[in-house]
Amino acid sequence: MRCLLFVVAALATLLGAREGGAAERDPALSLVAAAGIDALGFVVGSTLLATSHGDDLQNNAGWLTIQSGFVLAPLVAHGVQGQWGRGVLFAAVPASALAGSATVFAIDPGAVERGTLPQQRWIWALFGVGLFGSVWGALDALRVGSAKRTIALQPSVGMGQVGVQIGGTL
């Protein structure tokens, strides 16, 4: 967890300490920073989960590490653009989901592997809300500046597959 916080601080400092106003900063850097934070959270958290061998404390730490990345991604994405306040607002939804998961784990520390069906539904719903909030916040950081930017999400359905195609201009 300390490593994740160090990387977030370093990225925010390096990417946010550019000269010029927010309108002069490249919004694509926000998306790269957010994707990096989310990916790092997934790598560290899933490694903890995969190597836990049934240890409830390590399982919970892995799960919460992934969700911590969800909280930090929109904050850093907006911070790169100099919009820390807006970043805090977009980080509120994933932070609430993180708090909800922590509450489930406080009630039953074994919820990740041996939780009841309602507990599993709650932690997966909170995971999804945190992920969606993180992605929404990162995409919002792309709207900075005067250039016209678009993001298009298109459902994709085929034989035996369902997905979403993402496109647009940065």
- Per the model's pLDDT, the better-predicted residue between 60 and 158 turns out to be 60
Number of domains observed in the structure of the chain: 1
DSSP 3-state of 126: helix
What φ, ψ does residue 17 adopt, rounded to 5°?
Answer: -95, 45
**pLDDT, tens digit (0-9, with 9 covering 90-100), for 58-112:** 999 999 999 999 999 999 999 998 889 999 999 999 999 999 999 999 999 998 8
- Per the model's pLDDT, the better-predicted residue between 58 and 7 turns out to be 58
Instruction: Compute the average pLDDT of residues 149-162.
Output: 77
pTM of structure: 0.72
pLDDT on residue 170 = 53
Range of the domain at 49: 2-169
C-alpha angle with apex 47: 107 to 131, nearest 5 degrees?
A: 65
Task: Answer for the pair 111, 119: CB distance below 8 angstroms, yes or no.
Answer: yes
User: Any idea which of 24-33, 50-59, 74-83 has the lowest mean pLDDT?
Assistant: 24-33
- Per the model's pLDDT, the better-predicted residue between 33 and 13 turns out to be 33
Percent of the chain with pLDDT over 90: 55
| Mean predicted lDDT score pLDDT of the chain | 83
pLDDT on residue 148 = 59
pLDDT on residue 132 = 95
Half-sphere exposure of residue 106: CA atoms within 13 angstroms, side-chain side:
6
Q: What confidence category does residue 146 fall into, taking pLDDT thresholds of 50, 70 and 90?
A: very low
**Whether residue 3 has pLDDT greater than 50:** yes
Whole-angstrom distance, CA of residue 63 vs CA of residue 105 = 10
